[in-house]
Amino acid sequence: MKLKIDELKKIRFFDNYTDKQLKIFISISTIKEFKVKDILFEQYDELSDVYVLLAGCLSLGISLPKEKRIHLGTLEEGQLFSWSAVFSPYISTAWVMATCPTKVLAIDAKKLNLEFEKDCGFGLNTMSKIAQTISRRLSDTRFQLMNQLTL
């Protein structure tokens, strides 16, 4: 199942791409569906897809020894995650689990990187968005850390 350009335009992550660039996303992505409690990927898994949440609810967290899962946050519709698939060593820094029936857009990260080489403007724009996602996640993590340190 593939999305159409107009559907992609409604998703926050894709708000400033040209139609040509949106077509690229569509050609290298698939829609995946998950049930409640499905694990999309575990922490330290090698990742091949970068995801955008289309609908549903996802929980993101880290694992502690003895298989204890710590929930760090929820992801919102239109948010990008699994960004580690784009960067070496392609290893996830967190696990992601569906907490309700969920639909995601799975973008093939290798193919995406090849498209970046062909169109550097497209690459810069997408990498800027990914960097913004990481920056916000880092800022939220610092906020959480400060909360813990000042308890």
Partner 1 sequence: MLNNNNIYRPIRAKLTDVIDESSLIKTFVMVPEEEFSFKTGQFIELSVDGIGEAPFTPSSSPLITEQLEVTVMKTGYVTGLMHMMKPGEFMGIRGPYGRGYPIDRFFGKEVLILGGGCGLAPIRSLLFTLESVIDKLEKVVLCYGSKTPADCIYKPLFNRLNKIAKFEAHRTVDKPDDEWTESVGVVTSLLNKISMNLEKSVAVVCGPPIMMKFGTIRLLEMGYKEDQIYLSMEKNMSCGLGKCGHCMMGEFFVCKDGPVFTYDEIKYNPEIWK
Out of 77, 87, 93, 111, name the contact with partner 1 by CB under 8 A: 77
Q: How far apart are CA 83 and CA 133, in angstroms?
A: 9
The site for partner 1, by CB under 8 A, has a size of 21
Q: How far apart are CA 58 and CA 73, in angstroms?
A: 9
Q: How far apart are CA 83 and CA 93, in angstroms?
A: 9
Of 22-30, 36-44, 77-85, 89-97, which segment contacts partner 1 by CB under 8 A?
Answer: 77-85
Q: Which is nearer to partner 1, 12 or 110 (CB)?
A: 12
Q: Are strands 49-55 and 80-81 parallel, antiparallel or unpaired?
A: antiparallel
Which residues are at the interface with partner 1 (CB under 8 A)? 12, 59, 71-79, 99, 136, 139-140, 142-144, 146-147, 150
